[in-house]
């Protein structure tokens, strides 16, 4: 008695009384996650060379800018030039490659052709979930290289204000995350530790604030900002927080905050889901 088989590419050999089906190869692509939610497999993308890692992974920080913008406006229909202008990226090197990946993996679709073609997300929730899986590697990398300091200020609010003021004076940029960022969005999560991305000289900022560098017991964590895109805020957030933030200091966007809190784990991960329901909505 023979043994039959069936694989995800469509090749099969099925034999039974009165039945024989054999297909050595498939002309169709592997099963799509859009049609089969249980299948979480990315295709190799031989036509474009774009893989999940080259869009969602650690290195493509400019392509992350495109993801943040699209996920911050999940219902918007974009011309690729609009995405490039919004994110200060290159159309061919960044936007087009991200869009090609999103369409191929059925996270997005398009309408129109030529100059009238617009791209829009069809599965923003799945895209955010999958990016969070990849973001863990990025978070672990920046967390290991973060500056750790001790502030003797009365509480985290005073410490955060000191960092805001110093960042402005030193022409740096501060983007608060974890509990420090969630507070801007009305979160009830409170933490003695102030955590922020910083674009500038972290040692000078610490000196200006009176923070002491320590190996353990830190209550100030300054994460290196590998790209200015980490500070991206959609227009609706800027308008909402305009009385509480400056050009030099404020929270990261809700999408970025969700990624950070989810991969940080523990009570941060719990609050990430609250933030997602209230601020992100998908």
Instruction: Tell which of 144, 166, 195 closes a domain.
Output: 144
Q: How far is the C-alpha of 271 from the C-alpha of 267, rounded, in Å?
A: 6
In tens, the pLDDT along 42-72 reads 444 444 578 999 999 999 999 999 999 999 9
Domain count, the chain: 3
- Range of the structural domain that residue 186 is part of: 146-280
In tens, the pLDDT along 193-230 reads 999 999 999 999 999 999 999 999 999 999 999 999 99
3-state DSSP assignment of residue 266? helix
Instruction: Tell which of 108, 125, 144 closes a domain.
Output: 144
Neighbours of 192 (CB within 10 A): 10
Are the C-beta atoms of 220 and 149 separated by less than 8 Å?
Answer: yes
In total, the chain counts a number of residues equal to 282
Q: How far is the C-alpha of 175 from the C-alpha of 32, rounded, in Å?
A: 37
127 & 74 share domain: yes
Neighbours of 88 (CB within 10 A): 12
251 & 163 share domain: yes
In tens, the pLDDT along 76-106 reads 999 999 999 999 999 999 999 999 999 999 9
257 & 184 share domain: yes
Query: Taking the alpha carbons of 150, 154, 157, 158 in that order, is the dihedral positive or negative?
Result: negative
Looking up residue 88, the CATH number of its domain turns out to be 1.10.10.10
Compute the average pLDDT of residues 36-46. 46
155 & 140 share domain: no
Q: How far is the C-alpha of 128 from the C-alpha of 280, rounded, in Å?
A: 10
Would you state the structure tokens that stand for residue 95, as one six-digit string? Answer: 């936007």
How would you class 31 by CB atoms within 10 Å of its CB: exposed for 0-12, middle for 13-18, buried for 19 or more? middle
Of 148 and 188, the structure prediction assigns the larger pLDDT to: 148
């Amino acid at each position: 008695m023979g043994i039959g088989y069936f694989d995800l590419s469509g090749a099969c050999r099925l034999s039974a009384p009165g039945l024989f089906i054999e297909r050595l190869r498939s002309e169709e692509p592997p099963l799509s996650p859009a049609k089969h939610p249980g299948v979480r497999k990315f295709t190799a993308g031989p036509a474009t060379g774009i893989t999940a890692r080259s869009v969602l992974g650690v290195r493509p920080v400019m392509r992350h800018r495109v993801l943040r913008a699209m996920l911050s406006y999940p219902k918007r229909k974009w011309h690729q030039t609009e995405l490039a202008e919004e994110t200060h990226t290159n159309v061919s090197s960044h936007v087009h490659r991200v869009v090609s990946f999103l369409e191929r993996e059925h996270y997005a679709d398009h309408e129109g052709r030529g100059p009238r073609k617009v791209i829009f997300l069809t599965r923003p929730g799945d895209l955010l979930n999958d990016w969070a899986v990849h973001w863990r590697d990025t978070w672990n990398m920046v967390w290991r290289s973060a500056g750790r300091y001790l502030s003797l200020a009365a509480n985290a609010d005073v410490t955060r204000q000191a960092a805001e003021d110093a960042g402005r004076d030193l022409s740096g940029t501060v983007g608060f995350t974890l509990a420090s960022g969630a507070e801007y969005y009305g979160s009830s999560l409170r933490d003695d530790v102030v955590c922020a991305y910083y674009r500038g000289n972290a040692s000078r900022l610490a000196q200006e604030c009176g923070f002491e560098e320590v190996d353990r017991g830190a209550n100030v964590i300054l994460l290196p900002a590998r790209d200015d895109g980490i500070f991206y805020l959609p227009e609706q957030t800027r308008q909402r927080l305009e009385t509480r933030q400056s050009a030099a200091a404020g929270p990261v966007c809700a999408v970025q905050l969700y990624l950070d809190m989810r991969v940080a784990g523990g009570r941060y991960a719990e609050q990430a889901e609250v933030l997602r329901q209230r601020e992100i909505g998908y």
